[in-house]
Chains A and B, each alone.
Chain A
């Protein structure tokens, strides 16, 4: 993992104006992965989009962490089902 792809948690908190406890909570709910190196906390650059989404759910839609966690699980199922629909539609095309 390239060091340049790791963003300090405190930088993210400042940038998005969220408390560090928010990021820690996300980690505790296993919604994101936080890396620890010499007492410093980092998140990988690829997780930024997900963090932005979680910020929106929590702060802008007033959804608590339990709700965010549940939504995250349901969205994964939605994504899986959408892929499954495409796969089944492709199969169904054979019979139409």
Chain B
């Protein structure tokens, strides 16, 4: 474990009083507290560091050992023993390896002897903590409804991911959070989806957008064009004299509508007319002839 300068973390010098440490800690805690910085992983990490620094430096005995052992303070047998006696813990169970606001109660009580351990432990039913997790999927994967196996706190669960789920959307898996206390109901698991799009289609809710190249002659005279849709190819009839940037709608060829089985958005194709390059002399002559006709 890398050496952490707890004084530096709290922004105080080694000679400060206990009261000043407390003051510095409170000021930083108010700035980086997870309750005040929802979904901010940087603040979360910073808050953990501040807590750890405070845990050690606010306790005169721990501070003395930290000052004495410096970098190796954690390995000092005497210190370890003292730490175990105090029941000091730095880790919490973390679904998908990340700490979330919902887990804060546990983390908080470990670090502070906080809210959930304030009372006398009377047998009261309490709902378990909610867990937060993020699941990254490719856009292709959310085109169809599919099942997926996840491991949450060493427990395998199978979830159904409905087609058409959006980037940033959160779904709740009831009862798969932390265990309830004294027979209370389990918490819930909240999964936020991060949808990565490697396709050539741009998604706007259940509509898709794509740009296709159209050669000049087909644009001028009209014709047929094969275009890719998300699940195959379709033949398009291009109207004569199609302008660059013309947009056509392919009904029901877009993305599945969330939780609306069999319903799809539309696919919008924008034509990008390609002007030929490296014209031959003959082509140039003929185009000049055309120009004269205009």
Q: A and B: real partners? A: yes
B-binding residues in A (CB < 8 A): 4, 7, 11, 14-18, 45-46, 48-49, 52-53, 55-57, 60-63, 71, 75, 78-79, 82-83, 86-87, 89-91, 93-95
Q: Is the interface of B mostly helix, strand, loop or mixed?
A: loop
B116 surroundings in chain A (CB, below 8 A) = 15-16, 52
17 pairs from A and B in contact (CB 8 Å cutoff)? A11-B124, A15-B116, A15-B119, A15-B122, A16-B116, A48-B126, A49-B105, A52-B105, A53-B35, A56-B35, A56-B114, A57-B35, A62-B26, A75-B38, A89-B167, A90-B205, A91-B204
B: interface residue count bin: 35 or more
Which residues of chain A come closer than 8 Å to B48, judged between CB atoms? none
C-alpha gap A89/B202 in the complex (Å)? 12
Tell me how far the C-beta of B30 lies from the nearest C-beta in chain A, rounded to whole angstroms.
5
Does B92 sit at the interface, judged by CB under 8 A? no
Contact in complex: B168, A60 (CB < 8 Å): no
Determine how close the nearest CB of chain A comes to the CB of B254; give it in whole angstroms: 13
Q: Are A48 and B127 in contact (CB under 8 A)?
A: yes
Asked if B114 and A14 sit within 8 Å, CB to CB, the answer is no
Q: What are the 9 tightest A-B residue pairs by CB atom distance, in nearest-first order?
A: A86-B168, A17-B118, A15-B119, A94-B202, A16-B118, A52-B115, A55-B115, A53-B35, A61-B30
Given contacts A48-B126, A49-B130, A61-B26, contact A90 B203 (CB under 8 A): yes
Interchain CA distance A46-B188 in the complex, whole Å = 11
- Kindly state the separation between the CA atoms of A85 and B218 in the bound complex, as whole angstroms: 41
- Asked if A18 contacts B118 (CB within 8 A), the reply is yes
A14 touching B203, Cβ below 8 Å = no
- Counting residue pairs across A and B whose Cβ atoms lie within 8 Å, the total is 87
| Overall SS of chain A's interface | helix
CB interface residues, B 210-229, toward A, < 8 Å: none
Rounded to whole angstroms, the CA-CA distance of A57 and B101 in the bound complex is 14
Given the known inter-chain contacts A11-B122, A90-B168, A94-B209, please indicate yes or no for A45 contacting B105, CB distance below 8 A.
Answer: no
Neighbour of B204 across the interface among A17, A46, A49, A90, CB < 8 A: A90
Write out the residue numbers on chain B whose beta carbons fall within 8 Å of the beta carbon of A82.
Answer: 38-39
A71–B34 CA distance with the chains assembled, in angstroms = 13
A61 and B122 in contact, given A55-B115, A93-B197 (Cβ under 8 angstroms): no
Known: A7-B124, A14-B119, A45-B127. Is A94-B36 also a contact (CB below 8 A)?
no
A61–B33 CB distance below 8 A:
yes
Q: How near does chain B come to A51, taking the closest CB pair, in angstroms?
A: 9
B281 contacts chain A at the CB level, 8 A cutoff = no
| B112 in contact (CB, < 8 A) | yes
Q: Give A81 to B118 CA distance when docked, in angstroms.
A: 34
Q: Which B residue's beta carbon lies closest to that of A54?
A: B35
The interface residues of chain B lying within 8 Å CB-to-CB of A62 are 26
- What's the Cα separation between A57 and B197 when bound, in Å? 40
Contact mask B243-278 → A, CB, 8 Å, 1/0? 000000000000000000000000000000000000
**B84 interface residue per 8 A CB criterion:** no
Separation of A18 and B114 alpha carbons in the complex (Å) = 12
Residue of B26, B35, B209 contacting most chain A CB atoms (<10 Å): B35
Q: Of B102, B112, B168, B205, which contacts A89 at CB under 8 A?
A: B168
